[in-house]
Structure 1
Amino acid sequence: MGGATKTARGEKKMARGEMPGHDMPLDRELEDLSPALRWREWMLRVEAVLFAAAEPVSREILGRVVGKDCSVELLIDDLQEELRDRPYELVSVAGGWQHRSRSAYAPAIRAAAAPTRSATETLSDGEAMLLMAIAYYQPVTRGDLSKIFGKEVSRDTVASLRDAGFIVSGPRSPTPGAPYTYVTTKHFLSTFGLETLRDLPDLEALEDAGLLRRGEARPGAISDPAAEMEDDGRALAD
């Protein structure tokens, strides 16, 4: 009888939006709730965290708001099913999940000209080309980048990509002087909708699509980009 009363009390609090209390430690297990309501509350918590987050959220972080035996992947599956007919969705990107508007509604969002929560930094053509070269040939030094483009790469351009959170310093190069290399970040993956560096489009495909001139950003002295990207760990955390 007591157990049934506790469950009914918990369900009433849930219906009033009072689960859990703001001044109490988060109850992850929610044992006072029926299995159906417990699962529903976990789904809502996960969705709330994803909605509020500025960057993709990992499974480990989402695990902090649900029961220890709860499957975050199954929660995400149910949330994705619920959002099937909505203009936004949950996507797997950069080692986590993120709320994103569906691409079909991009024209409407642009036409509205309203500030967005995840506005992408505007890159100049030069910055975009440099970022692409770093992404494909990382870890790469500024000297290597200069060889790729056939001209000196500006320190200011590299600094602008670093300030935007797209790149960080990587391991030192084994070449004379041991200069620092540059690698992309998880913010880079998130901004461009990539799960890992393996999701980068093939250079030949970019050329075939007319998005890259033949031979442009192809180095003469840099090793094969497929080998350079073999270790996805080179996309470092911000």
Structure 2
Amino acid sequence: MQINPDQLKQLIEASLFVMAKTVSIKQLNESVLANFSVSRAKVKAAIEELQQDYQGRGIELVKVAGGYRFQSIETLSPYLQPLWQEKAPRYSRATLETLAVIAYRQPVTRADIEFVRGVAVGSHIIKSLSDRHWIKIVGHKEVPGRPGLYATTNEFLAYFGLDTIADLPPLSDAESLAALFGQSQAIPDSASAPKTDEESTNE
């Protein structure tokens, strides 16, 4: 079946709204566009036109985690806060530091993380990040015990608004790092156990 450029734009736009999540061109071609003769290049061109259409609006079409999604523009976030029933999860500094080590040095073992941070990493921290689907085991290090190797996920990329890991700000750019990981509210670590990580969340 054939589809003209305007219809293609409309179908892609409607699909992204209905799915309400990050969707790749491959997923579009295998679902709503499966019955149409349309190339990847034409789909990408239609998406780029949609991005232009939404410039200057309260909604934008962004590329994250290898796909595309609609989201409100960042400057409106403070005003939209009352509409969100659930508060953003609050993580300890230890949890965010652990996540940063995994993001920048992946794949890494728990021992690697502890070496970089200089303190033991509590199991609850790894579990918290795993439950959030921000990290996963991608293999095992070929050393005695074959410890798991942790890496970040597409959910991590989508939450932090990144298309690929290469989009992470340089480690030397403290302001960008604070803006990135500041999206998940940090709370102070407990001072009662200096040799291990203590965490408190409201999840």
**TM-score normalized by structure 2?**
0.77
Question: How large is the RMSD of aligned CA atoms in angstroms?
Answer: 2.3
> Which residue of 1 is the match for residue 196 of structure 2?
none
3-state DSSP of counterpart to 2:68: strand
Deviations 1:74-117 (A, max 9, x none): 1112211221231111111111111111112122223xx11279
Structure possessing the higher relative contact order (Cα contacts under 8 Å, 6 or more residues apart): 2
Distance 1:116 1:58, change over 3 A: farther
Partner Cα distance (2:11, 2:85) in 1: 23
Unaligned runs of 5+ in 2: 179-203
**Correspondence for 1:160:** 128
Pick from 60, 64, 68 the counterpart of residue 93 of structure 1.
64
Partner in structure 1 of residue 32 of structure 2: 65
2:49 aligned partner: 78
Q: Secondary structure at the match of 1:194?
A: coil
Does the 8 Å CA contact 2:20/2:70 hold for their aligned counterparts?
no
Task: Check whether the contact 1:42–1:65 (CA below 8 A) recurs between aligned residues.
Answer: no
Deviations 1:10-64 (Å, cap 9, x if unpaired)? xxxxxxxxxxxxxxxxxx635xxxxxxx332221221122123343111011123
Question: Residue type matched to 2:80 in 1?
Answer: I
Structure 1 unaligned segments of length 5 or more: list them.
Answer: 1-27, 31-37, 212-238
CA contact (8 A) 2:133 2:155 kept: yes
Change (3 A) 1:58 1:109: same
TM-score, reference length from structure 1 = 0.66
Decide which of 97, 100, 115 is 1:129's aligned counterpart. 97
Which protein has the bigger strand share?
A: 2
Given that 2:169 and 2:177 are in contact with CA atoms closer than 8 Å, whether structure 1 keeps it comes out as no
**Gap change, CA 1:109 and 1:72, over 3 Å in 2:** same
Once the two structures are TM-superposed, the CA of residue 121 in structure 1 deviates from its matched residue by 4.3
* 98 and 169 in structure 1: CA distance in 2 versus 1, 3 angstrom threshold: same
Please list, as runs of the form range in 1=range in 2, the aligned pairs for 1:114-125 lying within 5 A after superposition: 114-115=83-84, 121-125=89-93
* CA deviation vs aligned residue, 1:115-167 (integer Å, no higher than 9, x gap): 279x8644332221111111011111111111111111011110110000100
Structure 1: 4+ residue segments shifted above 6 A? none
Cα separation, partners in 2 of 1:74 and 1:210, compared to 1, 3 Å: closer
- Give the secondary structure class of the aligned counterpart of 1:98: strand
